[in-house]
Amino acid sequence: MELKIVYEDNHLISVIKECGIPVMKDSSGDYDLQNMIKDHLKNKYKKPGNVFLGIVHRLDRPVGGVMLFAKTSKAASRLSDQIRKGEWKKKYLAVIEGFPLERSGTFEDHIIKDSENNKVAVTEMSVDGAKKATLNYKVILKNRKRAIVEIDLKTGRSHQIRVQFSSRGFPIVNDFKYNPLNLKKKGDIALWSHSIELIHPVTCKPLCLSADMPGNMAELFLN
C-alpha cells in the first residue's frame, strides 16, 4: 500500500491514514500504519535496526484522514504536552443521517467506554468512569436526508464523534457500530480527519496539516 505523505522533516512526519488500517499493531495482525511508516523511514534513510516513531494521537481503525507522528522522542514529548494542554486544533468532516435544526452548535456529554465490547455510550456525569466529551459542529451542506458537517473536536475521547452524533439521532453514514441504518456493513465510514493545527515542537512555527475528504466519501451525501 502506498504511503501518502502530507509533511515530513527531521522531527515530524504527517501522513494520510486510509480507512480500515489500524494505527498500531492489534489482535488482527494486519499491517499497521506505524510499521508502514517505520518501513518507509528505514528504507528512505537506510537506517539499521529499529526505527523510532512516536504515536501522539490516534484515529479509530475505520476512520481515515490526516495524522501526525514524531520521529524523535523530544518531538513526541513536546507534542504530547501540547495535546494535554489542549493546544491542537483538530477538525473532522462527516456525512451524517439527517441534520441538526441549528446550523452550528456544541455537543457536550459525558461518555463511558465498555472496553470488553469496544463500545462507548453517553451516560450521566455521576457514573463512575464517565468522561466529559465536547465538540463544536457546523453544517456545511444538507439535503432532505443527509448533511456534511465540519467538526471542531475539543476533547479526544474514544469514539467520541461517532457516539455524540448517534445519540442525537444523526449517526454517521456507514458507521456499523453506532448507526442502526447500516446493516449491510459495506463501505468506509463517512468520518474523516480533515486538519490539524499546532505549533512545531522544534521550530515553534505554526503548522497546518490537512487532507481533503475522498470523493467516494463525499458522494455518500448524495445517496
**Catalytic amino acids?**
60
Query: Who contacts 223 (Cβ-Cβ below 8 Å, separation ≥6)?
Result: 146
* Total Cβ atoms within 10 A of residue 132: 12
Query: Who contacts 45 (Cβ-Cβ below 8 Å, separation ≥6)?
Result: none
Burial class from Cβ neighbours inside 10 Å (0-12, 13-18, 19+) for residue 67 reads: buried
Give CA–CA dist 96/181, Å, rounded: 11
**Residue 107: HSE in the Cβ half-sphere, 13 Å Cα cutoff:** 26
